[in-house]
Chain A
Amino acid sequence: MKPFINAKGLVHEYSRRDEEGNVTGINRALDGIDIEVKAGGFIAVLGANGSGKSTFAKHLNALLVPTEGTLYVDGMDTSEQKNNLPIRRTAGMVFQNPDNQIISNVVEEDVGFGPENMGVPTEEIWRRVEESLKSVGMYEYRKDSPNHLSGGQKQRIAIAGIMAMKPKCIVLDEPTAMLDPSGRKAVIKTVKELNKKENITIILITHYMEEVTGADYVYVMSEGQVKMKGTPRQVFARSEELAKYRLMVPEVTKIALGLSKKGINIPKDILYPEELTDILLKIKSGVL
C-alpha cells in the first residue's frame, strides 16, 4: 500500500532578506527529510526549537513547497499548485497560537466556517459544530465571541473548527502549548479518538514528552534532519541521545533512570506513572 504521507529527500530553504528585500542568506530549514506515514497512522515529531518541525508541518498543508525532493499527501504532489486546495481539505492544521486561526465573531460560526466552505449541507454543519464543540468542552461558549476567550479556550475552538471539517489527516503544531493539564489531556484524548475511531491520520508536533506516548511512531528532528525514529518506548529508552537533541524523557522515566543509577534493578523504558508505581510495588515485595 502506498503511504498516505510520503516525504523523500525533502528540502526547504528560506532566504533571509534585509530591510530592502535583498537576499542576505539562505537557511536550510529542512535538509533531506524522509518520512512515511500510513493512512490512519499516528506519528509524533519532536525536536529542538528551530529544528524544522513547523516548516515540515507547513509543507504537509502545501503552505510551503519543496526546494528539493518530493512530498506526496494522499497521492497528491504538494509542488503542483492545482493540488493546493484538495491538499488543504485533506490535511487540516492546528497551530500553537490560536489568534491566527480565528475567523468569525461568534464561536459556533467560527467552527462551522470550514465545513460551510466545503459545501457541507447546513443541517450536517450544525450537527458537526455541536459534536466538535462538545468534545473540546466548549459547547456552552457557542454564542460567545472568540476574541473574548482566554488563550486556552481559543485553542479549543480552533481544534473544534478543524474537527468539524473531518479531514483525512490532522496536523497539530504544538496544540497544547497554552492549555491547562485537563485541557491538554482532553485534546490528546480527542486526538487519539479521532485516530482510532475515525481513522484520521495524525501528525502531532509537541515539546511535551508525555504526550507522544500514545503515538505509533516518533521522529526526532535536529537541524532539519531526522536523527532518531522508533516507537515511543524505543526512542525514550535512548535518553542520552535525546539529550543531545535538547530533549528529555518524561519525568516518570527520569525517576526510573535515577533509581537505576543508584543500583536498583528497574527497566529504563517506563512511560506512565501507573506503570512505575506497579513496578516499584513489585520490587519492594521482592517479586521482581
Chain B
Amino acid sequence: MSIKLQNVNFIYGIGTGKEKQALKNINIEINNGEFIGLAGHTGSGKSTLVQLLNGLERATGGEIFYNGKNIYDKSYNMRNLRSKVGLVFQYPEHQLFETTVINDVQFGPKNLGLPQLEVELRSFNALKMAGIDDSLLDVSPFALSGGQKRRVAIAGVLAMQPEVLVLDEPAAGLDPAGRDEILGLLKKLHDENNTTIILVSHSMEDIAAYVDRLLVMNQGEIVLDGSPEKVFQFEKELEKIGLGIPQPAKVIHQLKEAGADIKGTPVTVSESVESIYKWLKET
C-alpha cells in the first residue's frame, strides 16, 4: 500500500482571473504504515494537499496513485478511495451535520453498507476511543464544547476504520491531556493495526513526540522531508518560513551554542532530560 503524488499541482479559481497556485509540483511517496507529520506556515497548502488524498479535491495537474492505481483514471472507484482514506477536517463544524452525536458517527459506517450491528459496534467503539462520554450520545453536536465537537468528528472517521487516516489539526482545541490521548490513540492505531497516519499540525512539540517522518511545506512546495531529529536541525530555515522548533530542541540548541558538549539531537522532553542530565554529570 502506498500513496504516490507525481508532479501534483493545484490552482484555485482557474478561469476566474483570480488564480492562486496552492500546490506546486509535489512529488512524494507515502508508504504503508508510515506515521507522517505535515507542517507549514498558514496558507502553505497543507489542507489543500490532504484534500487531494481522499479525492475530495482534484489536482489541477499531475497524478496521484493509490496502491499503484491512478485515482484519476475514469474507471477508478472514488467512493472506495474515500472509505480507505479517512479525512478529519481542520474545522469539525465542517464535518458535523446530523441531529445527534450518535447519528453523526454512524453516518459513515452506514454509508459503507455495513450491517446495523457492525455499524453500532464500530460507532460506540470509536466514540469511546475519542473520549466522548456516553451521556453525550443523544445530544446535538452543535450543543457541544469546541473540544467535544473535535472528538466527535474524529470518532466519525475512526468508525470507518480506514487504511489511511489523514487528520488536519486534530489536536487543535483539545485540552493538554486530550491532546496526548488523541495522539496516543493515533500511535496505537499505527503500531497495532499498521494504519498509515498523516498528521497536519502546527505544534512542533506534538510532531517531535509522535511522527517518524516530517514533511515541511512552504508556499505550496515541500521544502524539507526527513525524521524530526534531522529536520529540527534546520532551526534558522524553519524560522524563516514561519515555523519553529520544539521548546526542548530550542533549549538544547541554545546550550550547544553556549559551548555545551551535549550528545545527540534530542527533540522531546524525555530525550532532553536524559541528555542534559548526562551532560551535567560529566566532569
Contact = CB atoms under 8 A, between A and B. Distances in A.
A252 B247 CA distance: 6
A274 interface: yes
Contacts of B65: none
A284 B260 contact: yes
B173 A255 contact: no
Contacts of A153: 42-43
Contacts of A276: 251
A2 interface: no
Interface stretch (B70-78, B104-112, B138-146, B186-194): B138-146
Contact of A181 (B145, B204, B251, B276): B204
Interface residues of A, number: 53
A248 B177 contact: yes
B175 A273 contact: no
A267 to B, nearest CB: 15
B172 A178 contact: yes
Contact of A49 (B91, B146, B250, B277): B146
B146 A174 contact: yes
Nearest to B144: A50
Interface string B250-283: 1100110010100000000110110011011000
A96 B173 contact: yes
Interface in B13-42: 13, 18, 20, 40-42
Contacts, number: 155
A264 B175 contact: no
A259 B275 CA distance: 10
A251 B93 contact: no
Interface stretch (A36-44, A60-68, A119-127, A144-152): A144-152
A92 interface: no
A277 B255 contact: yes
Nearest to B179: A207
Contact of A16 (B143, B247, B255, B258): B143
Contacts of B143: 14, 16
B269 A258 contact: yes
A180 B216 CA distance: 12
Given A18-B138, A50-B148, A207-B175, A255 B251 contact: yes
Interface in B103-141: 138-139
B163 interface: no
A54 B143 CA distance: 12
Interface in A162-182: 174, 177-182
Nearest to B168: A151
A280 B205 contact: no
Nearest to B239: A182
A255 B266 CA distance: 12
B239 to A, nearest CB: 8
B158 to A, nearest CB: 18
Contacts of B269: 251, 254-255, 258
Contacts of B272: 255, 258
B242 interface: yes
A156 B273 CA distance: 36
B242 A183 contact: yes
Task: Categorize the interface residue count of chain B.
Answer: 35 or more
B95 interface: no
A46 B240 CA distance: 31
A179 B13 CA distance: 24
A215 interface: no
A182 B20 contact: no
B193 to A, nearest CB: 26
Interface in B29-59: 40-44, 47
B171 to A, nearest CB: 9
A277 B173 CA distance: 30
Contacts of A177: 169, 172-173
Nearest to A19: B99
A152 B179 CA distance: 20
B202 interface: yes
Contact of A280 (B40, B145, B172, B280): B280
Given A50-B148, A178-B172, A264-B280, A251 B91 contact: no
Most buried by B among A47, A180, A281: A180
B91 to A, nearest CB: 6
Contacts of A178: 42, 90, 169, 172, 202
Interface of A: 14, 16, 18-19, 24, 47-50, 54, 96-97, 99, 148-153, 156, 174, 177-184, 207, 209-210, 243, 246-248, 250-252, 254-255, 258-259, 262, 264, 273-274, 276-277, 280-281, 283-284
Q: Which 10 A-B pairs have the closest CB atoms?
A: A152-B42, A49-B147, A258-B273, A246-B177, A182-B242, A251-B247, A277-B254, A181-B244, A150-B43, A248-B176
18 contacts: A18-B138, A49-B146, A49-B175, A148-B12, A151-B42, A152-B202, A177-B169, A178-B90, A180-B202, A207-B173, A210-B247, A248-B176, A251-B269, A252-B248, A259-B276, A262-B277, A280-B251, A283-B280
